[in-house]
Structure 1
Amino acid sequence: MGFVAKRFGLFVAALFGLSILVFVALRILPGDVAAVMAGTNATAARIAALRTQMGLDRPLIVQYGDWLAGLLHGDLGMSAISGKSVASQVGARAAVTFPLIVLSLIIALLIGLPLGCAAVITRNTRLRGLFHALAIVGGAVPALWSGLLLILLFSRGSGLLPVLPSQGFPNNGWANFGRAAASLVLPALATGITAGAGIMRYTRAALGDAAQSQAVAMAMACGMTRRQALLRVGLRLSLPQLVSVAGLTFAQMVTGVMVVENLFALPGLGAMLVTDVGNRDLIAVQSELFLLAAFFLLLGLVVDMAHRVLDPRLKNASIGSGEVL
């Protein structure tokens, strides 16, 4: 329990430091935030009224305290452009972005794990060369380019095989589950193919190292074939590394899908952030940036805990060093 409490304490401290960093970063931008949000043709009276309305005329420490108190209660503030709650807008957009990320990660794992394992298991040098080429080419293809290619191939209206929608998301969201899921297939493939190539490289490297371990040699000495030893023993030894890779890939997809969302006209968090920055809705941007960064920290915490569960050597090392669990 000491390990969990220590990691959670660091997580909370990191969140606090992150909130200060985001708050200060937007306050040290050149010019007055109210003047930037009001626009270039705004009068002095309009700027002053907006500054008072948003509380920007109060001391910075008071502004930060109010914003932090709102975060603790789930209140992310109000959008100066739409007048709607930022929390409700983030919730609606997250219902598009996170299913897209999860689907992309599933596709990446379905591509990367089997091909990475096959690249190590096979003894055919030509197949190994093919797997190596696929990993390099797949990782070098930008998601934007693969998305355009998928649109040309499979989009309704302009594709050679028009089977999937390529633009937009249903207005009623996931109430129309089939249509909503179909609208995420092409963008998920565009993101998942590139990420899958990276997972394939990491899987090949991790399993290749495990193949040289004494555990795999012992399994083969006990009667397992090389293939069985690699899949049953080597893959289990590589699991902590692969969990880290999957976690990092998931985090990278949060920012990576922003380009894909704009290409496929999806109303996700990336499109929301780009729109709010373009509209100079800096108060909304402040909460959105904090939530994205907090998600990265949370994902790191989850991966750290998963390592603890999957690799008993970490627990034994802590016991040996005198940590009280």
Structure 2
Amino acid sequence: MVRFLTRRLALFALALVFISILVFAALRILPGDVASVMAGLNAPPERVETLRQQMGLDHSYPRQYLDWANGLIHGDLGRSLLTGRPVAAQVGERAQVTFPLILCGLVVALALGIPLGCASALARSPRMRSISHMVAIVGGAVPALWSGLLLIMLFSKGGGLVGLLPSQGFPIQGWGQPGRALESLILPALSTGIIVGAGIMRYTRSLLGDMLSSGYVDMGMACGMTRTQAALRIGLRVASPQLVSVVGLTMAEMITGVMVSENLFALPGLGSMLVTDVGNRDLPAVQSELFLLAVFFLFLGLLVDVAHRLIDPRLRGAVGQEVDA
């Protein structure tokens, strides 16, 4: 296990270096001069040149990259050209909205997807299986923007059919008002969680369906379990490594839905921050934000790999045999 972790961490570090180079190069090939855009259309050349020096754009590309990478290593993500504040401080503030929203959306997705997927796989009626199949397809095909608008029309205070929950903004005091903060995340979490839950439902139904046709469930029933008990206690446990992979990838994909939800529900999260900074050509902020998102994706992949080894003893045995060899 130690050798496996060492190898994965080394690959993780190499991937971070590659991603940082890719992000840096992608933003440098965009058309237009960043200093000219920030200075304004009618700015004098002296003002543009001053901005270029302040931003380090007068240096060569390798020098710019090394300066940025050195800052990343020391925890310095740079300063925003618009606000003048450290990007790390802004990301920390926005992350208090985005990551709780991702967590709430994932809870909704798991609470809907796994039970409904199990019920669909265990249903004996062809009509019930057809209905659950249609629900999964329709739920996964609904765009996040459309589901959010529908929830606003149904449940938002002031303009919804049933005025229960706020649909815009986040408390000024943030999580200092936990009740209001959580209320403001319910509708955005539902708008992404329902869509993601439909995907988890399809995967769960497929995985459990394969287990039902295998010998694991038959062995459980031979030991005195009912079909449902054997499927849930044995089949679902055997399928858990694949389900962990699906949940990990799903959590990474939720970033896209969360970005849509944050802009729709006017939440001050990382998604809305990234959209604003891209529109304003705030280059130092955008490249650091994109890099942090890539780190998040890679870290999820690393957690999924480690979880596989912890859950599936067959993989741990394979690693042990590799070390012995």
Query: Displacement of 1:297 after TM fit?
Result: 0.5
Distance 2:324 2:305 in 1: 18
Q: Tell me which stretches of 4 or more aligned residues in structure 1 moved more than 3 Å.
A: none
Secondary structure in structure 2 of the residue aligned to 1:243 = helix
Render the CA deviation track for 1:95-122: whole Å, top value 9, x for unaligned. Answer: 0011001000000000000000001112
Residue of structure 2 equivalent to 1:232 = 233
Residue of structure 2 equivalent to 1:286 = 287
Residue of structure 2 equivalent to 1:260 = 261
Secondary structure in structure 1 of the residue aligned to 2:239 = helix
Residue of structure 1 equivalent to 2:185 = 184
User: Map of 1:313-324 to 2, 5 A cutoff?
Assistant: 313-320=314-321, 322-324=322-324
Residue of structure 2 equivalent to 1:99 = 100
Residue of structure 1 equivalent to 2:27 = 26
Preserved contact between residue 76 and residue 85 of structure 1 (Cα < 8 Å): yes
Residue of structure 1 equivalent to 2:12 = 11
Secondary structure in structure 2 of the residue aligned to 1:110 = helix
Structure 1 segments unaligned to the other structure (5+ residues): none
Render the CA deviation track for 1:58-99: whole Å, top value 9, x for unaligned. Answer: 222222122111111111000001111100001111100110
Render the CA deviation track for 1:232-259: whole Å, top value 9, x for unaligned. Answer: 0000011011111111111011122111
Distance 1:165 1:144 in 2: 17
Against the structure 1 CA distance between its residues 57 and 6, is the aligned structure 2 distance closer, same or farther, given a 3 Å change threshold? same
Segment of structure 1 superposing worse, 249-258 or 185-194: 249-258
Query: Displacement of 1:324 after TM fit?
Result: 5.0
Secondary structure in structure 2 of the residue aligned to 1:75 = coil
TM-score, normalised by the number of residues in structure 2: 0.97
User: Map of 1:215-226 to 2, 5 A cutoff?
Assistant: 215-226=216-227
Distance 1:122 1:24 in 2: 52
Distance 1:192 1:259 in 2: 13
User: Map of 1:206-221 to 2, 5 A cutoff?
Assistant: 206-221=207-222
Residue of structure 2 equivalent to 1:159 = 160
Preserved contact between residue 165 and residue 183 of structure 1 (Cα < 8 Å): yes
Preserved contact between residue 155 and residue 166 of structure 1 (Cα < 8 Å): yes
User: Map of 1:50-129 to 2, 5 A cutoff?
Assistant: 50-129=51-130
Number of residue equivalences: 324
Distance 1:144 1:28 in 2: 31
Distance 1:280 1:197 in 2: 36
Paired letter, 1:33: V
Distance 1:281 1:220 in 2: 62
Distance 1:324 1:21 in 2: 38
Distance 1:232 1:169 in 2: 41
Residue of structure 2 equivalent to 1:198 = 199
Paired letter, 2:4: F
Secondary structure in structure 2 of the residue aligned to 1:261 = helix
TM-score, normalised by the number of residues in structure 1: 0.97
Distance 2:153 2:287 in 1: 37
Secondary structure in structure 2 of the residue aligned to 1:111 = helix
Paired letter, 1:107: V
Paired letter, 1:104: G
Preserved contact between residue 27 and residue 33 of structure 1 (Cα < 8 Å): no
Query: Displacement of 1:318 after TM fit?
Result: 2.9
Preserved contact between residue 94 and residue 268 of structure 1 (Cα < 8 Å): yes
Preserved contact between residue 19 and residue 290 of structure 1 (Cα < 8 Å): yes
Secondary structure in structure 1 of the residue aligned to 2:108 = helix
Secondary structure in structure 2 of the residue aligned to 1:61 = helix
Distance 1:159 1:51 in 2: 49
Distance 2:225 2:41 in 1: 73
Preserved contact between residue 2 and residue 324 of structure 1 (Cα < 8 Å): no
Paired letter, 1:63: Q
Identity rate, percent: 65
Query: Displacement of 1:317 after TM fit?
Result: 2.3
Query: Displacement of 1:153 after TM fit?
Result: 0.7
Paired letter, 2:323: E
